[in-house]
Structure 1
Amino acid sequence: MNLLIASDSYKGSVSAYDAGESIKKGILRAISDADVTNVPMADGGEGTIDAILANREGRLHEVNVHDPLMHSITVSYAGITHEGKDTAIIECARSTGLPLIPEEQRNPMLLNSYGLGEQILDAVKQGYQHLIITLGGSATNDGGVGMLQALGWTFYNDRDEELPIQGNQVANVHRMSDQHRLSELDSCQITIASDVTNPFHGKNGATHVFGPQKGATPAQLETLDLALARLASVFSKQYGENIQTKPGSGAAGGLGGALYIGLQGTFEAGIDVVMDLTKLEDHIKQADLVITGEGSLDQQSLMGKVPHGVAKLAKKYKKPIIGLAGRHDLELEQLNRHLDVVLSIQTEARPMEQAIEPDFTRKQLTVTSEQLIRLYLLGRAHSTN
């Protein structure tokens, strides 16, 4: 019997790989001779590089960059060979991620994406001409100004003074120049991996939808949204295109738009990129049963998240698929259109702090998956009688 585990991480608790290994342990308790394959998944957020390198050969490049507060940190990006081409995978969350900033310091007016630009700069200088940039988990809302500054763009205020690289300068931008942009970018192919389709600005844009979780106050939301609208006009004047009409331009506080317009990037769904790089489709073809999961299975899971992407592929080959989660939405009708079974791994009511404790999550995944497989075997036995 071939079983495939293609789980996301359980955010704040265990990685995708650890979740898969815990599920695998439970399966083997029920079927000791089962052929179980663990293919960790991600959708472009934190852990994307780890998921990809767990499934294929690659190497890590370390580079010193600046975090969103312009403190020096060391981060890494991955180098792989994909379709015969040397490809760099750069995870936005490693240099500009929300976990890098203590909760009490989460003020998007002070944070920038300069570090992501430094990661891109290093990869290009290393000779990579194919870059995949994942945009999940950012702490910034600077429209990509910091990133572009690191790559040679210059921005000016209303007095035609060059803006500094410190802090979030988006509210001060009135003019830009790409005269000194990194010339090697002209030879690069950029893939923007994101699960977000929001526009650059407006009520459904980067600021109003994602700004609150990054610490923005109501007044700051208005200031930043107006600033992104003006930046969109500056981009339009420079490049002759309105990025507001491009779905996904609002990803990661506007980084999606800056990568698209400045670096001529191409958008792809993060989960599709990861499934391609891990050859998940080949694994699904061989599987008798597919198990996926994440920390919370709800309506958002159907908007480009890992369980939805894995489920679509499983349905393509008519493979049964089961979703496990720390919690799931009580309204299961929508989820069950994609997942045959949805189960919570919680066996009793517990405080959140205990429920997400890593050792406890691993134990619950193992216990639940063992019982799940025993039930699955029972059902198969009855169906053959």
Structure 2
Amino acid sequence: MKHILVAPDSFKGSLSAYKVGEAVAKGVKAVFPSAGVEILPMADGGEGTVEALLYANKGKVEEVEVSGPLMERVLAKYGVFDYDGKPHAVIECAESTGLTLVPIDKRNPMKSNSYGFGEQIRDAIAKGYRHLVVTLGGSATNDGGLGMLQALGWRFYDQAGRLLTPEDGNPLLHAYDFSTEGVLPELSECTITIASDVMNPFYGPQGAAFVFAGQKGASMEEIIELDGHLKRFADLVEKRLGVNIQAISGAGAAGGLGGAFAGCLGADMQSGIEMVLHYANAAEKMKHADLVFTGEGSLDSQSIYGKVPVGVAKLARKYGIKVIGIAGRIDTDTKLLNEHIDAVFSIQTQCRTLEEAMQPEVTERQIEVTVEQICRLMEEAENRPPAPLESRQDH
């Protein structure tokens, strides 16, 4: 083995993607000390995406104080990096509108809004960034993205024609008209890419309210009410802008933020892992690899749909490169995984409680041991001379 690419997701709750990569590299080097091992941390558009893009492009972190989901002040971070000679900003929804920012007893999508997310975007634009990558996931809001749009200069009015302010809570509940006259002019210079694997429509039984609002603290009565407001706003946008938000796959992501970005700001919605692979220049790195290791905490039925290991494997297959997957657990029919990944291995070597198994030092050591054993098998196969023909005959 001359060159091995290690492109894992994090083992959530245990190790970051980079730490997983380091453990894999140790296992490889124990058997192939002269091999070149390149670590390329991956993510699927959710947690760890900013870190993956900054690592791949030697970027840095910016900080800005913005409004949280309930209009409290929070310090939000976003990443900035150069790609193809152009400055980019990658902005994570959860930094400003995340569910983890709201105490459990205060979670209420009837009151929360995404204004702070718009403030993050506005700050990046003010600092000169015109290529924006936004990640959607983990939001505490179900405002159809109206709060985010307010922060970017959109004006919303209630039935009486009163201008809504961020202090009104969820603007979706009261918005019956809007104006784009005050929209930040620099937005017309921006390209916006959305990283999201959610395919839900804006409203309806599979929409933002019915599928996600309950997780954010809404009762069934409130879910029905939110769904009606989402439909009203979608109808308003179609009437005023000629855009059918409901027809956009993924418009229901992050409480409707997907629809606001794609339908109102003309953003391009992409698969999270495909976006990360693109901005990490993974294809170029694949071309020089003899083997790829990937993995995540749990290889299960969801891994087939837009998760890191399968995304990495699909790209590697284009170049005829073998891919080995490792995981804390394998919880699905391996035949499904082997349609994409050449071989998959659990890192568990003895019985442990889940708490013990997820301790970072245990996970790290188990990855190293498992990868070392895989490499020893490959070394044996490479070095073993072919058996004489007569010894292979049936007796």
Q: Same fold (TM over 0.5)?
A: yes
CA apart distance, 1:253: 1.5
* AA in 2 matched with 1:350: R
For residue 323 of structure 1, what is the aligned residue in structure 2? Answer: 325
* Helix, strand or coil at the partner of 1:143: coil
For residue 250 of structure 1, what is the aligned residue in structure 2? Answer: 252
For residue 337 of structure 2, what is the aligned residue in structure 1? Answer: 335
Matches of 2:56 and 2:320, distance apart in 1: 24
For residue 392 of structure 2, what is the aligned residue in structure 1? Answer: none
Q: After the TM superposition, which of the residue ranges 254-263 and 327-336 deviates more from structure 2? A: 327-336
Q: Rg bigger for which structure?
A: 2
* AA in 2 matched with 1:183: P
* Helix, strand or coil at the partner of 1:139: coil
2:216 matches 1:214: yes
Distance 1:379 1:159, change over 3 A: farther
2:277 matches 1:270: no
* Helix, strand or coil at the partner of 1:133: strand
For residue 202 of structure 1, what is the aligned residue in structure 2? Answer: 204
Matches of 1:102 and 1:333, distance apart in 2: 42
Distance 1:105 1:289, change over 3 A: farther
* Helix, strand or coil at the partner of 2:8: coil
Matches of 2:102 and 2:50, distance apart in 1: 20
Q: 1:231 aligns with which of 222, 230, 233?
A: 233
Deviations 1:264-315 (A, max 9, x none): 1112222122111111112111111111111221222222221121011111
Q: Is the 8 A contact 2:59 2:79 kept in 1?
A: yes
CA apart distance, 1:382: 4.7
Deviations 1:56-104 (A, max 9, x none): 2223221111222222122222222222222222122222223333444
Matches of 1:57 and 1:113, distance apart in 2: 29
Q: Is the 8 A contact 1:7 1:16 kept in 2?
A: yes
For residue 136 of structure 2, what is the aligned residue in structure 1? Answer: 135
Q: Is the 8 A contact 1:201 1:250 kept in 2?
A: yes
For residue 261 of structure 2, what is the aligned residue in structure 1? Answer: 259
Distance 1:228 1:50, change over 3 A: same
Distance 1:209 1:325, change over 3 A: farther
2:388 matches 1:372: no
For residue 99 of structure 1, what is the aligned residue in structure 2? Answer: 100
Overall identity of the aligned pairs, in %:
50
2:31 matches 1:24: no
Matches of 1:278 and 1:189, distance apart in 2: 18
Q: Is the 8 A contact 1:17 1:54 kept in 2?
A: no
For residue 185 of structure 1, what is the aligned residue in structure 2? Answer: 187
For residue 42 of structure 1, what is the aligned residue in structure 2? Answer: 43
For residue 74 of structure 1, what is the aligned residue in structure 2? Answer: 75
CA apart distance, 1:383: 7.9
For residue 158 of structure 1, what is the aligned residue in structure 2? Answer: 159
Q: 1:281 aligns with which of 280, 283, 307?
A: 283
For residue 4 of structure 1, what is the aligned residue in structure 2? Answer: 5
For residue 117 of structure 1, what is the aligned residue in structure 2? Answer: 118
* Helix, strand or coil at the partner of 2:303: helix
- Matched pairs, number: 385
Matches of 2:86 and 2:42, distance apart in 1: 22
* Helix, strand or coil at the partner of 2:356: helix
Q: 1:363 aligns with which of 330, 340, 365?
A: 365
Q: Is the 8 A contact 1:289 1:319 kept in 2?
A: yes
Distance 1:357 1:210, change over 3 A: farther
For residue 241 of structure 1, what is the aligned residue in structure 2? Answer: 243
For residue 15 of structure 2, what is the aligned residue in structure 1? Answer: 14
CA apart distance, 1:20: 1.0
* Helix, strand or coil at the partner of 2:372: helix
Matches of 1:25 and 1:216, distance apart in 2: 47
Matches of 1:275 and 1:136, distance apart in 2: 18
Matches of 2:20 and 2:219, distance apart in 1: 36
CA apart distance, 1:322: 1.3
CA apart distance, 1:232: 1.1
Q: Is the 8 A contact 2:115 2:149 kept in 1?
A: yes
Q: Is the 8 A contact 1:46 1:94 kept in 2?
A: no
Matches of 1:123 and 1:111, distance apart in 2: 23
CA apart distance, 1:40: 0.3
* Helix, strand or coil at the partner of 1:248: coil
Structure-2-length-normalised TM-score: 0.91
Q: 1:290 aligns with which of 277, 284, 292?
A: 292
Matches of 2:220 and 2:129, distance apart in 1: 41
Q: After the TM superposition, which of the residue ranges 315-324 and 356-365 deviates more from structure 2? A: 356-365
Q: After the TM superposition, which of the residue ranges 118-127 and 156-165 deviates more from structure 2? A: 156-165
CA apart distance, 1:33: 2.4
Distance 1:244 1:306, change over 3 A: same
CA apart distance, 1:171: 2.4
Matches of 2:33 and 2:325, distance apart in 1: 22
Structure 2: unaligned runs, 5 residues or longer: 388-395
Structure 1: unaligned runs, 5 residues or longer: none
* Helix, strand or coil at the partner of 1:55: helix
Q: After the TM superposition, which of the residue ranges 307-316 and 170-179 deviates more from structure 2? A: 170-179
Distance 1:97 1:344, change over 3 A: farther
Deviations 1:134-182 (A, max 9, x none): 2133232221011111111122223333323143232222222222111
Q: Is the 8 A contact 1:322 1:340 kept in 2?
A: yes
